[in-house]
Amino acid sequence: MRIDLRTTLFVAAVALPANVLTAYAVSRVASDNLASVESLSSISNPAARSAAYFTELGKVLTSPRCLNCHPAGDRPRQGDTARLHQPPVERGADGFGLPAMRCPICHQAANFELGRVPGNPIWHLAPREMAWEGKTIGEICAQIKDPARNGNRSLASLVEHIGEDHLVGWAWAPGAGRKPAPGTQQQAGALVEAWVTSGSVCPKP
């Protein structure tokens, strides 16, 4: 017998007490702030200023919303505590899961709030070479500058990826019970653009 996981999640959700569902409906937890590009521009040393831009961006990159999909292993993590994904899915050859447990089976085009299942049209794990769980901000910076470890992106394309990509943008609208990434996607895009145009200096590892 084939079990429809989405139906199972829906039934489980509607069986919850009304007060719990109400708590789930309060989906947005106030995000931490990001320093603006302007506030960091007063740093007189150009290299230190460039590194400061990336250090501030690092608040986003090391938040659970990013780290959970950039794991060191082949299993995604979930929640604000970065626990291993349940059910125990794995990356698969293309990042969209194993043949019997593909990401789109549960993760649809948008967040499914009743089941507390996050969603996006292309929900998947970042490639293995883009894993940065457990790394320092300086190590992530060196990695993100390297086309062999950043999805073959130029520095200019990183600005668009972080500042405009729809899946990346999910980090700021993660749905019920998840804390958004710090700041806004626009602020993150401005920080990475300032970092690139200022010489893309990395913080010390």
pLDDT per residue as tens digits for the range 75-129:
999 999 999 999 999 999 999 999 999 999 999 999 999 999 999 999 999 999 9
Tell me the CA distances in angstroms from 170 to 107, 197, 201, one per residue in order: 13, 26, 27
Please indicate whether residue 4 or residue 201 has the higher confidence score (pLDDT). Answer: 201
pLDDT at 11: 35
The band of 10, judged by pLDDT with boundaries at 50, 70 and 90, is very low
The residues facing 6 across adjacent strands are none
pLDDT at 153: 93
- Could you tell me which of 87, 126, 130 has the C-alpha nearest to residue 105? 87
Q: Is the pLDDT of residue 2 over 60?
A: no
pLDDT at 62: 96
Please indicate whether residue 155 or residue 23 has the higher confidence score (pLDDT). Answer: 155
Among all chains, which residue has been given the structure tokens 């980090």?
171
Q: Alpha-carbon distance 81 to 139, whole Å? A: 22
Please indicate whether residue 27 or residue 6 has the higher confidence score (pLDDT). Answer: 6
Q: Is the pLDDT of residue 185 over 80?
A: yes
Give the pLDDT confidence of 51-73 residue by residue, as tens digits: 999 999 999 999 999 999 999 99
